[in-house]
Amino acid sequence: MTEVVGRYAPSPTGELHLGNLRTALVAWLSARSAGGSFLLRIEDLDSTRAKEEWIDVQEGELRAIGLDWDGEPVRQSGRDSLYSEALDGLSDQGLLYQCFCSRKEVREAASAPHRDPRLPVDAYPGTCRDLTDAEREERRQAGRPPAIRVRTDGARVSFRDVIHGELEVVLDDFVVRRNDGDYAYNLAVVVDDAAQRVTEVVRGEDLLDSTARQIWLYRTLGLTPPEEWLHLPLMRGPDGDRLAKRHGSVTLEQVVAEGGTAGEVVGRLADSLGLAPEGTNCLAPDLLGEFSREALIEGCKRASD
């Protein structure tokens, strides 16, 4: 059996939300309870939003709830040459094209009557897929820098998620390099999870569609995908809506400012997924003994009902 390698991969764009902390906690519990390693990767590719100062803040928050990680965190901003190599691999297969659409245009085109009915409503409908050289030139002249999309031909990707079971997703042509030159999340995360030999990915269920795209990239680039995917329900407030500021404190700092403790936060996060009884006050390592996949699956199902 391969050794378990788990990871948490925050984007340093602010303080971690309690939902992020819960994902980190479960990712850590899952890897460590199996005697595996746990990596922290700083996803600082978004040059407009990622800020150096948030890295220390987020690491402090993770330590405060009792998490640790193996080795120095890898930072995506230093790995452009790897992402560029992967992009070349797709280009060599003739799979890339330039896309000049703005977000608004994608939204409008996606709701047009002739779109592929198999695709989700917010999927890219392929507007720039077959532009002629002259049309591309015209758009470049208009001054709009292109993003790079990958041609997936509406591939269907099936995969198994530990929490959600078997899933099948129809792919659109997604962005692998943004029009500001930054490599896109889906490309970078595949390159890094493969390079770091990650065996299990724990993250929020809002990324289920991204997972299908990533699996397609692993296959197309000849890389080995993680063995297990666990997509956790999004954290909810008492009214059942996605946890937001109006529900009160949404970061560890806010909880502490109101007299709460990191131990209470860990207890609350664990309780919300059935991993500890209500009122628990402890740090992450105290939950290791009781942690089980079965309890997590059960807790996630209850949290989604």
Query: Which is closer to ligand GLU, CB of 188 or CB of 255?
Result: 188
Task: Kindly tell me which of 226 and 267 has the beta carbon lying closer to ligand GLU.
Answer: 226
Which range in 3-11, 90-98, 243-251, 272-280 contacts ligand GLU by CB under 6 A? Answer: 3-11
Smallest distance from ligand GLU to CB 55, Å:
13
The 96-99 sheet, strands edge to edge: 96-99, 147-150, 175-177
- Near ligand GLU in 47-106, by CB under 6 A: none
Which residues, 6 or more positions from 208, have their beta carbon under 8 angstroms from its beta carbon? 161, 164, 167, 169, 231
**Looking at 7-15, 61-69, 224-232, 253-261, which segment touches ligand GLU (CB under 6 A)?**
7-15
In this chain, which of 9, 64, 184, 215 binds ligand GLU, going by CB under 6 A?
9
Q: Residues near 262 by Cβ (< 8 Å), separated by ≥ 6?
A: 64, 65, 66, 252, 256, 283
Within positions 178 to 207, which residues make up the interface with ligand GLU, using CB under 6 A? 189, 203, 207
What is the footprint of ligand GLU within residues 19-48 (CB under 6 A)?
A: 43
Which range binds ligand GLU by CB under 6 A, 6-14, 47-55, 235-243, 260-268? Answer: 6-14
Closer residue to ligand GLU in complex, CB, 126/226: 226
DSSP string, 46-61: -TTT--HHHHHHHHHH
Would you say 207 and 161 are in contact if contact means Cβ atoms under 8 Å apart?
no
Contact 190, 221 (CB under 8 A): yes
- 226 phi/psi in degrees, rounded to 5: -55, 155
What sign has the CA pseudo-torsion 142, 145, 150, 154?
negative
Judged by beta carbon, residue 10 or residue 233, the one nearer ligand GLU is 10
Alpha helices by DSSP H, listed for 112-261, are: 133-141, 185-195, 208-221, 252-257
Binding mask 131-170 for ligand GLU (x = CB under 6 A): ----------------------------------------
Q: Contact positions toward ligand GLU, by CB under 6 A?
A: 9-11, 43, 189, 203, 207
